Amino acid sequence: MSIPYEYYIVLSGLLMVLGLIGIIVRKNIITVLISTELMLNSVNIAFVAFDMKLHDVAGQIFVFFILTIAAAEAAVGLGLIVAIYRLKKDVDVEKLTELKL
């Protein structure tokens, strides 16, 4: 193993920050969900890297559960987007101000 495990954690942090910036700056609500997937993936990298460093497999089991939750989140979130589009005919986050006074 020539690459230190710390580099994988740095890469995980970079992807996490990119996903966070995507959630903040994006205006289309579908791409906000896509940025969420990026953040979930960065956590997966960190889990597997720590696992390999500590010689454990529990982190990889949590990667399974993250995959499951990501699938559930994508299904429900995209169902919500379709419902929002039917209601408002728009997917812009700035236009979804129903609760605003």
72 binds another protein (CB under 8 A): yes
d(CA 52, CA 46): 10
96 binds another protein (CB under 8 A): no
Q: By CB under 8 A, what part of segment 13-32 binds another protein?
A: 13-22, 24-28, 30-31
Locus of tokens 């580099």: 7
The DSSP 8-state label assigned to residue 89 in this structure reads S
Q: Count the residues of the shown chain that bind another protein, applying the rule CB under 8 A.
A: 71
d(CA 90, CA 81): 10
Q: Residues 3, 14, 71, 55: is their CA dihedral positive or negative?
A: positive
* Residue 64 CB, nearest approach to another protein (Å): 7
* Residue 99 CB, nearest approach to another protein (Å): 18
* Residue 63 CB, nearest approach to another protein (Å): 5
